Amino acid sequence: MQLRFTLCAVILASLSSSAQTQTPASIVVEATNSIQGSGGHEQKQLFVRLTSDGLVQWETIQWQKPNELHSTRITPELVSAITQRLDAINPEVIQAKMGPYNRYVDTSVELFIGINTPKWKRQFSVSNPWTHWPLKTVPKDLKAVICEISRLHAQVTEEPVEPMCAEADAQKSQR
């Protein structure tokens, strides 16, 4: 009986210490679309969220009911590559609220972005970031953030990459 009690105590102690040493995964990047339509209708959608352990989540819009949450995992190497590319962006050019960069008919979109990398942490929003009728040029570093988000979203959803990002990717591959 004494042996069984001691063995249980050792197992519980080891489980307790391992649970305390594991830190929860942190969010590397998160982007949420807020789509405002005519008549005051608003639809929010988790566009993409990446955590340090490789978990990627996104939502698909379900009209007349709650959005559907999806998730998958990417490799640690890909998480590291995305983190490094985000770290290479100059955070000083990112303002709390940026845009609008495009004009839409009867709608507007605000993309809320949070970035948490070793070199910088920032939350900001971008009005009308998705290509349509351009109003002004998207700054290079902001475009890099938007394209990183768009590429990750496209990879996990099999939806196309944002056109401005696809054009930039095609130009890089031709060099």
> Which domains are seen in the chain, by residue range?
24-174 (3.30.1560)
Number of residues assigned to the chain: 175
Q: What is the pLDDT of residue 3?
A: 45
pLDDT of residue 166: 85
pLDDT of 137 reads 94
pTM confidence score: 0.82
Q: What is the pLDDT of residue 7?
A: 45
10-residue stretch averages of pLDDT, the chain, 175 residues long: 48 49 86 92 94 98 92 98 96 95 94 96 96 93 97 96 82 58
User: In this predicted structure, what is the pLDDT of residue 174?
Assistant: 57
Res 33: pLDDT: 96
- pLDDT at 2 (0 to 100): 54
Q: How far is CA 65 from CA 43, 62, 101, 108, 154, in A?
A: 11, 6, 30, 21, 24
The pLDDT value given to residue 172: 63
